[in-house]
Amino acid sequence: MAPRPELGKPGERWQAARLLSAPHRLGFAAAALLLAGSALWWALAMLARLQGHVLPWNLTPATAHGLLMSLGFMPLFFAGFLFTAGPRWLACTPLPAAALLSPVLAQLCGWLLFLLAIHAGPDPVLGRVLGSFGLVAVAWGWSGLLWRFAGLLRASRETDRLHAQIVCGAGILGAVLLWAAALALASGEAGRLLALSRASLWGFSGLTFITVLHRMLPFFGSAALPKAEAWPLRGWLLLFGLQSGWALLAPRSNGLLWLHAGIEAAAGLAVLALALQWARHQSLRPRLLTMLHLGLVWLGLALLLDGLSEGLSAGGMQSLGLAPLHAYTMGFLGSILLAMVGRVSSGHSGRRVVADDTLWRLFWLLQLAVLLRLAAALVAAARAAPLLSAAALLWGAVCLGWTLRYGRWWGLPRADGRPD
C-alpha cells in the first residue's frame, strides 16, 4: 500500500540540508525558530517577574519585547513566502534558497546578539553597543533579502506587479525602521524604539499581510470569499499607512486624538461589516477560511478598541492600555500567520491544503491566549501578573508546538514524492 501523502514515506529522516532545497523551507524554519525562542524567552521573563525574581535588563522589558515581536520573526516569514510565491506572481526565474542563506543567518545571529545584550549584566554601555551591533546585523540581513526581491521585480515583465510592488514598499519601510532602531539604540535614544516597533506593525507587517491575503483570496476558494473588489488595496494602504504614521509621530493633542479615534472606529466597523458579509453569505466550514475570518474580526475589534481607548484618553479617563495592541498583534497577525504559513507549508510539502486537527487546536489555543492577554490589560494592575504569565505561557506553548510540527515537515522530502 502506498503511503498517505498527508503522512509521508515511513523511515524518512529529517535533514537540515533540505532547508536549502526551497526558499519557504529556509525562511519559515528560521522564522519559526526565532518565534518559538522569543516566545519562550518572554514566558520565562513573565514567570520570573511573577515569582519576584529580578532579571538584568539593559532595555525596558516592554521595549525589548516589542522590538523582537514586531521586527524579529516576521521578516523571515515574509522572506520564505515572497521568494516562493513572488517568482510566480512576477513570472520570473526563482532564486535558490542558498542565495538567501547569508542574510537569513545575519538576522538570526543579530537577534541572538540583541538578546544577549539585553541581559548583559550591570553595564548599560556594553548592552547598548552589543544591542546596536545586533540590530545592524538584522537590518543588513533584511535589506539584503529586500534587495534580492527588488531584483525579481526589476527583472519581471509581468504587467500586473501591484501586489509585489506594495509588498516591496512595505519591506523598504521595515528596513528603514530597523536601521533607525539600530541608530536609536547606539545613540542612547532607546525611548524611540517602541514607536519604531509599533509603526512597523502597521506599515510593514500589517500592510504585507493584507496585501498577500488580497492576492491569495482566489487560492482559498473563490466561492467562499468575497471578490477582490471588496478589498480595495488603496483603502488598505491608506488605513495601514495612517496607523503606522500615527504610531511613529504619536501626536497628543485632544483634537487629533478625537479625530483619529473617529477614523479608527469607522474603519473598525467597516472591517467587521466585511467579516459579517463572509459569515452571512459565504461558507466558512473549511477551517482555513474560519481562521482567516476570525483574524479579520480581530482586526476590526482592534481598531474599535483603539478608537475607544483614544477617546477615553482624550476625555481625561483611563485608556484601555495594551488591549488594542494585542488584539491586533496576537489576534489579527497571529491568526493570519497560522493560516497562511500553514497553507503554504501544506501545499509545498505535498500534503492536503487543510487545517488539520493539530493546527486547529493550536489556533484555538492562540485565541485563548489572546483573551487572557486582553484580560490582563483591562484588570487592575495587582491582578494582571498571573494573567500575563498565563497568556505568555500559552503563547509560548502555541509557538513551540507549531514550530515542532511544521519544522519536521520542512526538513523532510515532499510527502507526494515530487521535487520542491
pLDDT value of position 125: 83
402: nearest Cα among 329, 342, 333: 342
Q: What band does 289 get if pLDDT is binned at 50, 70 and 90?
A: confident
Half-sphere exposure of 318 (CA within 13 A, CB side): 9
Enumerate the domain spans of the chain.
59-243
82: nearest Cα among 204, 244, 239, 227: 204
pLDDT value of position 219: 58
Does 34 have pLDDT greater than 70? yes
φ and ψ of 282, to 5 deg: -130, 160
CA 393 to the chain's CA centroid? 18
Q: Is the dihedral of CA 142, 144, 147, 148 positive or negative?
A: negative
333: nearest Cα among 264, 261, 240: 240
399: nearest Cα among 101, 43, 106, 155: 43
Half-sphere exposure of 196 (CA within 13 A, CB side): 25
Does the pTM surpass 0.85? The reply is yes
Quickly tell me which residue has 545613540 as its cell: 187
Q: What band does 224 get if pLDDT is binned at 50, 70 and 90?
A: very low
Please, what is the average pLDDT of the chain?
90
Per-residue pLDDT tens digits for 66-103: 999 999 999 999 999 999 999 999 999 999 999 999 99
Return the C-alpha cell found at 287: 477551517
Does 213 have pLDDT greater than 60? yes
pLDDT value of position 6: 47
Does 278 have pLDDT greater than 80? no
Per-residue pLDDT tens digits for 330-367: 999 999 999 999 999 998 888 988 889 999 999 999 99
Instruction: Tell me if residue 59 falls in helix, strand or coil.
Output: coil
pLDDT value of position 30: 98
